[in-house]
Each structure stands twice: as C-alpha cells, then as structure tokens.
Chain A
Amino acid sequence: MKKYIIILLFCNLSLLGCSEFDEDINVNPNIPGEASGTQLIANAQLYLPSLSSSPQGEFLAQYLAETQYVGVSLYPEGSTNFYWFYEGPLMNLETVLNSEEDLNAAEGPVANQLAVAKILKAYFYWNLTDRWGDVPYTEALQGNKNFTPAYDTQESIYSNLFALLKEANSQIVAGDIDNDLVYGGNMEKWKKLGNSLRLLMALRLSEVDPQWAQDEFNAAMADGVMNTNDDSLVFQHLADANNQNYWYDQVVESNREWWALTVNLVEEMKPVDDPRLEVYANPARESGEFIGMPYGETEAIGTEEYSLLGSDITAQDAPVYLVTYPQVLFAIAEAAERDWVTEDAETYYNLAIEKSVLQWTGSTEGVDEFISQPEVAFDPANALERISEQRWIHLFMNGYEAWSEWRRTGFPNDFVQPEGRPVPTRLAYPDTEDFNNADNFNEAVERQFGGEDSIYGTVWWDE
C-alpha cells in the first residue's frame, strides 16, 4: 500500500514515471511463452482422428445409415467448415517449420522434427484439398501478414505436397524424436509413411494425369513404402476421457443409437462370411443376425432390427486407422493393373486382403479360404472393380478416404441415391469464407464451379 501512495504522490508532483510499470506485470503467467517443436507436433497429431471420425464421412461412403436424424444422411446442401485444419494442426506444424533455428535437438534431430512436420502437413492438406477442391495453400498460415489468403489450385497443391514429402524423405537422419504419439519417434516409420502418402496421392491422379501419376507413384515406391501393418498410421485412443474415441463418446456415452451399417456393406460381407463383419458390426438385437439398414431412410427408424456399430469400433480406446499398409498394397495392385509397375496385381490384391483381415481381426486364420471364394477372388476381367470394392471394405470407418476413392474409380457402383439425390462429389466451402475472405472465395468458386459452391461440383482430379 505504501508503494502505491508513494507512486501516487510521485506521479502527481512530477508528472513523470507514471508509465513505468513492473516489467512482468503484463506478461501472461497463465500460459507457456514457449513451446517445443515436438509438443506442437504432438498437438497436431491429436487432430488425426478428426480426419476420419465423422458421421459425414461415413454417409458419403455409405458405410453407415442414419437411424434417427435422417435429414443429415440425405445429402443436404450446406457448408462444411475447414478452418479447424488451419487453426489446429496446420498452424502448429507451420510454427515448427518456421522456427527451425529455435528447435531443440535434445528432442531429436532438428531435421527429423522438420521432416515429421512436413509429412503431417502434407497429410492434412491432402485431406483438405480432396474434400473441398482448391484451398488456400501458398498464402495460408501467415497470420497477420495475410488474413485473406488466395486459393491455390488443387493441381498446384498436389505438386507442392509431392515436393514437400520428397524433402521430408531426403532430410530424415538417424535418431528418434520425442513426444511422438503415433510412431514413438521411429523415423523409419515416418519415412515410409511419407513415401506411402506420395504413393496414394499419385494414384489419386490416375484419371486426370496418368503420366504424372505413374511417375510419382514409381518414385515413391523406389523411396520405400510401408511393408508391414506395423507401419500403418494409426491413432490409438486411450481408455481415458481426455483421449477417447469419438464413437465411444457418441454411441456408448451419449447413448446415441443413430448409426446402423448399410445394406450395401452388410450384403457385400455377409454372403462371403467376411471375418471382419463381426468386428465392424454387432448383430441386430431383434434377430441376432447381421442385418444392414437401407441407406437414406427418410423417417427415423427402429434400431432393434439392424446391426449397429461393432463394440470394437465403439470402444473407448479403439484405434483409428488412417493410412494403412493394406491401402498401399491395394494401390500397388491397382498400379500393376494399370501397368505402371511390374508387380503382380493378384498377388498384391490377395496380400492386401490378408493384411486387412489381420488389421481388423488380429488373425489371418481362414483368410485363404475366404479369398478363394469366387465373389472375393481376384477377377482379371474386372480387376479395378474388385480391387476397389475390397479397398472399400478395408477402408471401413475411414469414410472420407473411401469416398475419394469412390469419386476417382466409381466403385462400388451401387451407392444409393436417397430421394434421388446422388452422392455429393465434394464438400461446400465454409459460409464464413464469404464474410472473411470474399474476393478469394468467389474467385475460387467461379474458377472451379462456375460460381456455384455446391456439393455437386467436381474437384480437379475427379474427371
């Protein structure tokens, strides 16, 4: 108190010194002023499950049908926000990439920290552009330097991401990094992930630019892709409410029996005794059988008579499969079919299914028998369709990825059109872009879709 009286008198008498405060008075003691690179990367990794765990993705890939609030499964027009990609993981990663000189090598080689940030950045951007089309890239993530970033074309974003992943591949050195939630710091796995991403991204261009696709595909393979299920990018949820599975929160905790497996999926799996079905679904309570629900009911429907999500899928600590070794195998099988590579399509197809069954069930028992069924076995006459259908079954619950593959290949070709509405071919941009970034937003919509930001516009690679 005395201090204040002295300051008061001093200020009054001298008119000086009033603006000199204790140095630390305006330093926020409640948040850290510094963050290490790997802590920022770890936070970005926490967003990985959000790339997959969403009813919207499951509807787009027609894995799940909505039992209660059916309106959302009828493909209504409406925007989907993408700001969380930028504000969340990408800004953390960008901060790491921009602070190379501040990174602490005690947490693992700086080059490796940067490489991991690049690989994750590429993965998030890949998802972003595949869902919406052109999005801000080169001018994005610059904070107050540019609050209205222009939209880059999808083509240029792909080109940038290939380059980014190549940089990552070539800069990885020996030495683990700390605070890695997905690979425990193992750089070998990161390297394989980066190259596998390139491989899968290359395949995405099969229709729009086959030559480029083939070149990138081969380059990625040469750099070394995943070769075991342990290489897969999997986000492991924990039996802890702070880190729990989205579907646990929804289905178990909130008691939401809102999702049943679709007829499409069950009818693909049940007749061939697919061992994965009992992981994907619980039998219907009424009959004890696996029964799919028709996609796109227009009224709320009972949940007793249909197969709801499997208990493994809704476990609190369930894994979320993001980029998997079987996906890489399916990609190689398809590339072989396209004559991009010399490997044998059937071998890779069979291996892909085997590894998928292993991934989902933990066992490969009876897989050969399963594959040998005519409905499953490789069919050279309809190779692309077979590969695509089996890939669709494998990608269960990774709806957005399966939907992208459907957009690219057109398979499975029996998706339902609820109330006559076809499956959307992209997500509409966030409405708030029309407030916050109107000029660039309008330019991008005009450039790609002739002015209409609809869910039925097609992205560049979707020929």
Chain B
Amino acid sequence: MRNKITLFSFLIALVQFMNVQAQERVISGTVISAQKSMPIPGVNVIIEGTNKGTVTDFDGNFSIKAETGDVLSFSSIGYKTVKRTVGSNDQINVQLEADLQALDEVVVTALGISRDKKSLGYATQEVDGEDLTVAKDQNVIGALGGRVAGVQVTGSSGASMGGTQKIKIRGVNSIGGGDQPLIVIDGTPISNANFAGSAGADYGNLGQDVNPADIESVNVLKGPAASALYGIRGQYGVIMITTKKGAAEKFTVQANSTFSVQSTYDFMPLQNMYGGGSSLDFRTLPNGDPYVDISVDESWGPRMDGTMVRQVFSFYPQDPTYGQLTPFVPHPDNIKDFYETGYTFNNTVSVAGGGEKINFRISLNDTKIEGVEPNTHLDRNNLTVHADADVVDKINVSTNFTFARNDAQRPGQGSEFGANYLVQWFQRNVDMNRLRDYQYEDGTYLHWNLSRPSSETGEVTDFDPLYWNNPFFNAYENLSQDNRDRFFGDVGITFQVLENLSLSGHIRGDLYTQNIQERTAFGGKSLPSFYIGKFQNKEFNYEFLAQFDEEWGDLSLNASLGGNIWNRNYTYLTMATVGGLSSPGFYNIDASIDRPETSNYLLRKQVRSLFGLVSLGYADTFFVDASLRNDNSSALPDDNNSYWYPSISGSVIFSEFLDWDPLSFAKARASYAQAGSDLSPYETTMGFGVGTVYEGTNTLFVPDNLNNPNIEPSFAHSYELGLDLRFFDSRLGFDFTYYEQKNKNQIINLDVSGASGYGSTTINAGLIENKGIEVAINARPIETGKFFWDTNLNFASNESMVVELAPGIDVYTYSSTTYSSVTSFLNSYEGKPFGSLVGTAYQRDEATGQILLGDDNMPLYTDETHNFGSVLPDFTGGFSNTFSYGNWRLSGMIEFQGGGQFFSRSKMLAVRTGQDPVTVAMNDRGANVRDPLDQGGGVKVEGISAETGEPVSAYVNARSYYRNVLGRRIYEEWLFDASYIKMKELRLGYNLTKEILGNFPVESVQLAVIAQNPFMIWQEAPEGIDPSAISTGAQSISWYESGQLPSVRSIGVDVNITF
C-alpha cells in the first residue's frame, strides 16, 4: 500500500511539472483531398505518442493545442496518413492522398514479428485497445466477445465477479472440448489457467491479469496458418496482445476513472399462489394451530390466501413472532430480495514518455468491486511497465512487465451454493427480508428449512437446517476467499548487427502464487470444514531470434530464425480438514478432527524448439510465406518426442491488375499449415494411487485411468482461403475466409467399459473436422459533416464433425450430469457433429409421433440414451456500431448466436418443486391444475395409450405429473434453444476538447456513460435463463445449467483525462 501511495504522489508531481513546462499554443488548419481538392471531414488529428487529438469538421478544419516539436498525425480511413511536425507556424494545411493500396497496416504476428498486413496469406483480425474498453470489461477475454469473426466467448454472469471467460476459436477443435488458445502478451506466453471447478467460487481465467486499459491492440491468430510458428502450442490459435508503449519526445499523463453500479435482472418468473408444503391442506400443531410444513423445500402447499398460520420464524423462541400466527401470503420477490446493488470503482493512471534513446510507460490500476451477492468483493491492482533504451549504438535493451494482484471473496456458482438453489427449492411464502439477520443474539442461526415440530409439544427441537442453509448464512459464514500475486514479463536485448539484420534474445517469465481458502461454518447443513490451497507456477521462456530483411528491386525478403526453450515448474499444496473442526470460528488445518487430507504436487515440463520463417514478396503484389518449427517435449515418450510443424501461405493483391474505380483494394490468399498440442507430463507411465489410511495401513490402488506409453501429440492440418476486398476509397471493407481444419490424434481420456478394470484410457483418437466461414464487414455508410456512422459486422459459421473416434469406439462421453438417478450426457458420436446432448425423451408412437402414456396416463419416457443433437451453435457473431456527431460518440456492441441448445436443471426443478407458473396454470376446464381432479382440476394429458394404442385425453394430478414425472424424468422437456441477440455494451461519450476546456490545465477530457450487458434483445430460451452465460467455472462447453447466477447489468460513468 505504501508503495502505491508513493507512486501516485510521484505521478502527481510529474503532472505539475508538465504543466509548468508546457508551452502550448493553438495550431489550426484545413485538411483537403489531394486528388479532388475537397475538404475531408472526420480526419483524426492526433499528437503522436499521446492520446490528444481532434477531428476535422465538415469543412475539413481543425484546431488543436500543441507545442513546437509535436508531431501531428492526420489519418482517415481510405487515405494515407500524413505527419507534420509543429514548427513556428500556427497554421498547418494538409493534403491527404487516397490510399489505393489500402492501409499499410502493420500487424503483430506469431513470435511478435511485425508484418505488413497486406503481405499475409492468412486471416488475422485485430481489435483496438479502445474497443476492448468500451464498457470497461475487466477481462480481456470477455471484452473480445463479438469483436472477431469466428471467436466465441462464453462465460458466467457478471455476478461471479471476475469469473471465467472462455474463448473458442473456430468451433470445437478437440474432442475433449478443452481447447483454449495460447495467450501471448508482448511476446510472452502467459498462463490462462483456471482454478475453478464447475461449481463453487469461480476464481476466473488467469488471462484477466492483463489490464485491458494497457492494451494497444489484440490480434487473434485464428488457426494453424497463423499460429504454426507456435508449433506444439499453436493448435487452438493464439491471442496476441500488444501493450501500449511510450512515444519519443513526448510526455503524457492519463487518468481514467470509472464508477459503475451492478444490478441483477432477468429472474425466472415464479408462481405466487401456492406456498410451501406438499399438500393443499395445512398441518396442525397439537393445539390446533395450522402451520407451514417447514420440513418441505417445495411449494406444493396450501394456497397463499392470507390464512393465519405458524411460519418458520414463529418456532424460534428468540424470534419476536415466536408462537404467533402470521398471514400466509406470497413474497413475489423473495429471491431477488437476496441480492444487493454492487459497484465497481476502477482507476488507472498512466505515465508515458521518452527521449531520443529511451522510451517508457508505467500504468497503475486499482479496481474495487462489491458484488451483487452480499458479502462478496474483489480488489485488483495492476502495475504495468514498459521501458526500452538504446544503451549503446545498435544495442537496445527492453523490458515489459506486469505485476498483478487479486484479492477476492466470491460467490459460489451452481445450485449448492449461496442463493442459487432458491429457484430450484424454496417456499414462495418465505420472506427473504426476514432471513437477512441470520443469527439471533444468543447465537442461534435462523434457517427456513427445519424438521417438523414435535407432534406432542408443537415445538421444534432441532434447529439444524434440514436440506438448505439460510442463503445469508451461506453468504456470511461459508466464505470462499482467494488471492493471487502475479508477475509476468520479459527482458530482452536486440543487437542491430547490420541495417537489415538484427539478433535478439529474450527471457520471459510468468510467475504466480494462487491462494484459495474455503470455509464451511458451524451451524449449517454441512459438517464444518476448512480447505486451503497454494498453487505456484513458474514458467520461463528463453528465446533467441535472428531477423533479416532485404529488398532487391521488386523482390523483398523477410527471414527469421529462432529458438526457444519453455520451462515450466508448477507446484501445489492443498489441505482439507476431515471429520469436522475442533472449535467454532477456528479455521485452520490444525482444527481437523481426523487426519486431514493433504496433497502436494510437482509438475515439471520442458519444450525445446527451433523455428524459421521465410517470406518473399514481389512488386508488393505477390507474397509467399513458409515456416517450419521443430518441437521437443519432455512430456512425450523419450524415443518419440520430436515433431515438426510446417506452414505455407501465399497472397496476391489482384487489385493491382484491375482498373475498376470502386474497388480500392483486393487480395486473395491461401494457406496450409500444421500445428499441434501437447499433453500434460506423466501421462505416459503408470503409477499407483494413494488410498485411505486405515489404522496406520496405507492402502494403494490402481488408478482408474490407464495411461499410454505410446501417446503422440495431437495434430491439426488447416487449409484456408480468403478474400479481402475494399471499395469506395476503403469505406466499405469485406473480408471473407473459408477454412477447414482437421484435428487428428486428439489426446483424450476415453471412457471405456469399467469391466476392463479402468474407467478411461489416454489415447490418441479420432479426427474432428471443422469447416466454416468467417465474414467481417466494416463500413462507414454515412459521413456527412459532423456526423459519421461506422459499422462492423462479424459473422462466423462452423461445423465440427467427429469423423473418427478410436477403433471399436463410436461414442465418447465428454461430460455427464446426474440428478435423482437420472443422467444426461454430452456425447460425441462417430459420424455426427460434435457434442450431442443425450438423455431421456418422451416415448412416442412411431406412426403419429404422439406421446405414449402408461396405465396411469402419465407420459412414458425412454432410457437415457436418446440423442437430441448437437449443443454447438450454428453461427455466432457481433455487430458493433459507432455514431459520431461532433464531440459526441455513441457506440454499441451486439453479440448474437444462432442455434445450439442446453439443458436447464433450474427450470426442471422449478417445475418439480411447484414454483414455476406452469404448475398453477388454469386448465381447459376452467379450474386450476392443482385443484382436485374431481373438482375439475388436473393437468390435461393427451397421447396414445402404450397398452391399447388408443388415443387418450385425460386429466392427471398436477403434483404427480410435474413433480414425479416431468420434473424428474423427462429431460426432453427441459432442453432449450440457445439462440440469442444481446446488447453487450453501450457507451455514450463526449469529448471536451482544448477549446472547450480553455485554460483548464488538462489536454483533453472524455466523459462517457457506459453500460455492460444492459439488456437481452431477444432469446429463444424462457425468461430467467441467460443462454449467453450458462457455463460455469471451468466447464469448457456450455451444455447445461443448474443454479445459474442471476444476470447482472452494469451501468456507470467513465472519465478519461489526459494531461
């Protein structure tokens, strides 16, 4: 903390210093088109190396405060950028030439090699840092959602606080579904690991330790063609992040502050007619008083008509309502009432500058989040530094590093945690506000779900919760705490041997310590316990790279040769108490009543690599690239641990041969590449498991997974064709890609018949073939005077086919979930699309397709093997728009998905427990379905009798139907289409320019109102289930939800000040 304050004071001092030094004056001028001599509106005028800038007006005029020596950069889509240095003249007029070659964009490609975008033979799509911070998403992965064609981001609700965001590039490329791209920041591969399970606290993906505000741009290398140079780590694509750097001769200080509030919305609608219990009549105490059946966690009870009854609170002698009758009425918002308004306060200060020989940028971020779930918070700090210096002639040393700190108390995900179970199991009559004070003064905990009162005394004798804790008890007593300290970055040296030959060496590191603690308190449903884990990762890359550039007339050559050693050392130590804790409030392994469970683990792995890249260009029109990488992995069998990964790509800029005015640029490209993915260490040899210790006898067992000494790394072959077209002076751009990726030799733990002695075995299996298209369209459809409209549409469609599994195996179970002895599966079948949802369906009459009914007129269901088809979406994409008018700017980002499906256990159980409105619907006889059958009640069931084959139309008891059949057995009923269109981000900003600010000692101020996940525009799934946030924690494929956290919208203000 002290260091932080010191740094901050230092920054303030710097700001003051700058204000004294600056000798600024107003520079003005006009920008016109060189060809047509017409004024160009909307040209960005920026002082290089700063964020200070302005935009030309309708007449092409601009004015900006600058000082002598500042370099003004004039840029506009479709024109070549022009730079002017401010001299003594206050007037600078500029002519811009149309850029018929399209933009000379430079992109950062694999291994950090900067390349001319037009020379690349594969698709890349860059995202500006600015676009990642539109709504201040804290997680760079989350911020990428919808921004890049073919990149799908899934994750949990904002309520998880820093929860996991997962990214899939071009569909599912591994049978195990766990394919995640490599994240590389300024050339340093960093871990995007995840310590969360599919339930409990979601500690988030580690990639979020990058501060989005430090990002200059992100380039997504979508497939092997782009990522082949990462060889054995490149199969699933690479996210290349480039951070902001300082600029020469310029010193800037920027401060950014965002305050936003988070609120929950989109709760599942529930009924408010019938309360807790299992029959329409109240139970009675010995004195004749009716009471609510507090032992039932369902809402199949009596009608909530205001009858005076004993409710749960009245059984606590400590409660003011002890012994009293209170009206039995609904509490419609009793789930919503649990949540609070959360807030996020995010501050970043950065200082950037440089001189002739040095260049630096330092930024410091502090973020505080209070969650929507009570008693949850997340504090984060990031310190990011870039510095480089020409220490002597031709030798440059540089460093980039980030120190990141996270400290959190997070909510649990899934139905066993917090308040997430309430939509599944609750009484509609319970007043959540009464539960808030969850402990009486004498220490007794208040719960809502207890054993019934004694039929003799009418008193409750056991105040231990029966099935569920008071959710506030969960929130305040059963805490999950985590913190992480992390350091990643590099030091490097570059020797410019000749003008066209440079040699560089880097050492890159990623080190973190993750601590996790979980408490289960006395007084709740579960045995008190304590868990603590410490996880340490040390990852280093030692890298050498030689780069050579040369041009001979029309011929250009780029060549790189390098080597890399990747070394990983990862350890953890986890401990958990067993048999309870020795004294309340003492959370320590020492408090374990029985021998605690402990585990210590060491992982060591090394990959040694060599690589080379040659790129030839002719007349800036024809380009050919070839690369080759050799990887040697210590995790592979000794005698077979070396693999080669080649790639070749080519492109031709055919607009050079076409003389068609509207077409400003056209490029065709094609590529073929191979990349791979490795396995974890120790997977090639067998050992034994350590079993329970029984009175000093340490038992050992044969593990359930059979390792394989002949395992090979998996391989992807990728083919890609693309077309990049720009029209009307590049105001309309169109980028199209078709790809095929064949993923072979997937390393999976294949489930086998347990009768073999093993539950699964590690094998190289199968072939997943992905085919798809990606379309990115960007345009500026309107450009009049002060008004501009920029639009971007990303669209991708992918099909993942499981062509082969393993010999003799035609199904692979990726995951399964069981409730009340009924299981559903996510399976992959040979010859079918990846990821079939499998479970129980209605039995249907073959001829008519009608539902078959049993003797009791209840629907019959199949076994658990009915295939409902793939869970993967047909297409995904994003649509972003920016409208600018003068200093105003409105941006919005819409994310969408078509197709895909998932199973909702929350919905199923809401119906099973009589909470869903369908369980109180009116039937066509005009009675409530809950009314007795002989009074016209009951659910109308239509189908065909399985026995007689005759059509049946009958009324059945609602509770038996929903609770025992539909809500428990028939999963077909609870599958929902995952299509949605979501407003993901909105931002309305206003730029206070120097003219407006006058003599105020700041350069520019940007004010904005921002919103994250403000609303769902449309979804196919029923209200209250967010199809865009159904996967929890580390679950890599979204296919079922249970106890989803509520949806959270965030609305705030953002202030950006540049000094």
A254 CB to nearest chain B CB (Å)? 8
- Distance in angstroms between the alpha carbons of A15 and B608 in the assembled complex: 11
Q: Is A144 an interface residue (CB 8 A)?
A: yes
Minimum CB–CB distance for A136 against chain B, Å: 4
What chain B residues lie within 8 Å of A32 (beta carbons)?
A: 687-688, 690, 700
- Check if B761 sits within 8 Å of A147, measured CB to CB: yes
Distance between A12 CB and nearest chain B CB, rounded to angstroms: 4
The residue in chain A whose Cβ has the minimal distance to the Cβ of B863 is: A431
Q: Does B909 contact A (CB under 8 A)?
A: no
Contacts of B823 in A (CB 8 A): 431
Alpha-carbon distance between A4 and B751 when the two chains are bound, in angstroms: 39
Tell me if B781 counts as interface (CB < 8 A to partner A).
Answer: no
A8, A90, A302, A305: the one within 8 Å of B544 (CB): A8
Which residues of B219-246 are within 8 A (CB) of A? none
Q: Which of A196-204, A240-248, A375-383 contacts B (4 or more CB under 8 A)?
A: A240-248
Contacts of B694 in A (CB 8 A): 42, 46, 181, 238, 242-243
Closest CB in chain B relative to A197 CB, distance in Å: 22
Q: Does B753 reach chain A (CB closer than 8 Å)?
A: yes
Interface pair A255/B466, CB less than 8 Å apart: yes
Q: Nearest chain A CB to B828's CB is how many angstroms away?
A: 11
B511-570 at interface with A (beta carbon < 8 Å):
525-527, 540, 542-544, 561-565, 567
Do the beta carbons of B682 and A147 come within 8 Å of each other?
no
A179 touches B701 (CB 8 A): no
> A residues 297-323 with Cβ under 8 Å of B?
299-300, 302-305
Task: Determine if A102 is an interface residue (Cβ-Cβ < 8 Å).
Answer: no
Q: In the complex the two chains form, what is the Cα distance from A396 to B756 in whole Å?
A: 33
B567 and chain A: residue at smallest CB distance: A4
Task: Give Cα distance in the complex from A5 to B544, angstroms.
Answer: 9
> Are B755 and A305 in touch, CB under 8 angstroms?
no
* Bound CA span A76–B752, Å: 27
Are A299's CB and B278's CB within 8 A?
Answer: yes
> Across the two chains, which residue of chain A brings its CB closest to B454?
A304
Chain B residues within an 8 Å CB radius of A28: 681-682, 685, 687
Interface string of A10-27 (1 = CB under 8 A from B): 011001001101100111
Segment among A155-163, A186-194, A267-275, A432-440 that sits at the interface with chain B:
A432-440
Does B9 lie at the interface of the complex (its beta carbon under 8 Å from any beta carbon of A)? no
In the complex with contacts A25-B634, A87-B704, A435-B751, A241-B594 CB distance below 8 A: yes
Expressed in whole angstroms, the Cα–Cα distance for A278 and B863 within the complex equals 42
Separation of A30 and B593 alpha carbons in the complex (Å): 26
With A91-B757, A431-B823 as contacts: A7 and B565 at CB distance below 8 Å:
yes
Per-residue contact bits, chain B 578-608, to A (CB 8 Å; 1 contact, 0 not):
1110000000000001110100111011101
- Shortest distance from the beta carbon of A102 to any chain B beta carbon, whole Å: 13
Which residues of A have CB within 8 Å of B278?
A: 299-300
Contacts of A209 in B (CB 8 A): none
Q: Report how far A88 CA is from B601 CA in the complex, Å.
A: 23
Residues of A within 8 A of B630 (CB): 18
Query: What are the residues of chain A within 8 A of B813 when measuring CB–CB?
Result: 432, 435
CB <8 Å contact, B692 and A242:
yes
CA distance A240 to B593 in the complex (A): 8
Contact B565 A4 (CB under 8 A): yes
B451 and A257 contact, CB distance less than 8 A: yes
Bound form: Cα–Cα A285–B561 in Å: 82
The answer to the question of B61 belonging to the interface, with a C-beta cut-off of 8 Å to chain A, is no
Q: For the complex, is B729 an interface residue (Cβ under 8 Å from A)?
A: no
Contact across chains for A144 and B464 when beta carbons are under 8 A apart: no
Mask for B941-973, Cβ within 8 A of A = 1, else 0?
000000000000000000000001000100000
Find out whether the CB atom of A140 lies under 8 angstroms from the CB atom of B755: yes
The 0/1 profile, CB within 8 Å of A marked 1, for residues 628-659 of chain B is 00101011001001100000000000000000
With a cutoff of 8 Å between Cβ atoms, the chain B residues found around residue A69 in the complex are: 820
**Across-interface contacts of A435 in B (CB, < 8 A):** 751, 811, 813, 827, 865
Interface size class of A (residues with CB under 8 A): 35 or more
Residue of B278, B702, B706 ringed by the most chain A CB atoms within 10 A: B702
Inter-chain contact A15/B610, CB cutoff 8 Å:
yes
- Tell me the complex Cα distance, A341–B702, Å: 43
Give complex CA distance A11, B564 in Å: 9
> Which residues in A have their C-beta under 8 angstroms from that of B703?
31
Query: Does A33 contact B687, Cβ atoms closer than 8 Å?
Result: yes
A436 and B752 contact, CB distance less than 8 A: yes
Q: Which of A78-86, A211-219, A330-338 contacts B (4 or more CB under 8 A)?
A: A78-86
**Contact across chains for B682 and A140 when beta carbons are under 8 A apart:** no
Does A148 make an interface contact (CB < 8 A)?
yes
Partner of B593, one of A26, A35, A143, A241: A241
Tell me, yes or no, whether B695 is within 8 Å of chain A by CB. Answer: yes
Asked if A241 and B542 make an inter-chain contact with CB atoms under 8 angstroms apart, the answer reads no
Residues from chain B with a CB closer than 8 A to the CB of A463 are none
A-B pairs under 8 A by CB, number: 256
Judge whether A149 is part of the interface by a CB distance below 8 angstroms.
yes
Chain A nearest CB from B868 CB (Å) reads 15
Contact of A12 with B864 in the complex, beta carbons under 8 Å: no
Q: Taking A72-B821, A431-B864 as contacts, is the C-beta distance between A94 and B753 under 8 angstroms?
A: no
**Chain B interface bracket (under 10, 10 to 19, 20 to 34, 35 or more):** 35 or more
B421-479 interface with A by 8 A CB criterion: 451-452, 454-456, 462, 464, 466
Confirm or deny: B1021 has a beta carbon within 8 angstroms of a beta carbon on chain A: no
Least distance between A165 CB and chain B CB atoms (Å): 21
Known interface pairs A30-B600, A40-B700, A95-B702; A86-B757 also in contact (CB < 8 Å): yes
Identity of the chain A residue whose Cβ is nearest the Cβ of B708 in the assembled complex: A144
The one of A8, A72, A241, A434 in contact with B563, judged by C-beta atoms closer than 8 angstroms, is: A8
A142 to B455, CA, bound (A): 58
Q: Flag whether B754 is at the interface (Cβ < 8 A).
A: yes
Closest to A147 in B: B752
Using Cβ atoms and an 8 Å threshold, which residues of chain B touch A374? none
Inter-chain contact B968/A71, CB cutoff 8 Å: yes
Closest to B855 in A: A420
- The answer to whether B498 has its CB under 8 Å from any CB of chain A is no
A5 to chain B, nearest CB (A): 6
B525 touches A87 (CB 8 A): no
Q: Is B296 an interface residue (CB 8 A)?
A: yes
Give chain B residues whose Cβ lies under 8 Å from the Cβ of A33. 685, 687-688
Residue of B279, B594, B689 touching A240 (CB-CB under 8 A)? B594
CB pair A436–B751 under 8 Å, yes or no, is: yes
The distance in angstroms between the C-alpha atoms of A91 and B758, with both chains bound, is 8
Q: Check if A12 sits within 8 Å of B697, measured CB to CB.
A: no
Contact between B691 and A46, CB atoms less than 8 A apart? yes
In the complex, what residues of B have CB within 8 A of residue A289's CB?
Answer: none
Residues of A within 8 A of B594 (CB): 240-242
CB atoms of A42 and B699 under 8 A apart: yes
Cα–Cα, bound, A86→B694 (Å): 22
A315-B632 Cα distance, complex, nearest whole Å: 56
A18 & B632 in contact (Cβ 8 Å cutoff): yes
Within 8 A of A (CB), among B301-360: none
Indicate with 1 or 0, residue by residue over B659-697, a CB within 8 angstroms of chain A CB atoms: 000000000000000000000011011011111111101
Using known A-B contacts A28-B681, A240-B594, A255-B464, determine if residue A5 contacts B542 with beta carbons closer than 8 Å: yes
Residues of A91-147 contacting chain B, CB below 8 A: 91-92, 94-95, 135-136, 140-144, 146-147
Query: Which residues of A253-289 are within 8 A (CB) of B?
Result: 253-255, 257, 285-286
Contacts of A144 in B (CB 8 A): 706, 708, 756, 761
Q: Which residue in chain A gives the minimum CB-CB distance to B702?
A: A91
Interface centre among B610, B757, B823, by most A CB within 10 Å? B757
Contact of A242 among B561, B578, B757 (CB under 8 A): B578
Does B697 lie within 8 Å of A21, measured CB to CB? no
Smallest Cβ-Cβ distance to B698: which chain A residue: A39
Known: A5-B542, A29-B602, A238-B695. A146 touches B756 (CB 8 A): yes
List 7 additional contacts besides A9-B544, A92-B701; criterion CB under 8 Å: A8-B543, A25-B606, A26-B681, A43-B700, A257-B451, A303-B451, A432-B753
**Can you list 6 A-B contacts with CB-CB less than 8 angstroms, sorted by A residue number?**
A18-B630, A31-B689, A40-B702, A95-B702, A141-B755, A149-B753
List the 9 closest pairs (A to B, CB-CB), nearest first. Answer: A83-B754, A241-B579, A28-B682, A43-B699, A437-B753, A31-B687, A35-B700, A136-B755, A91-B757
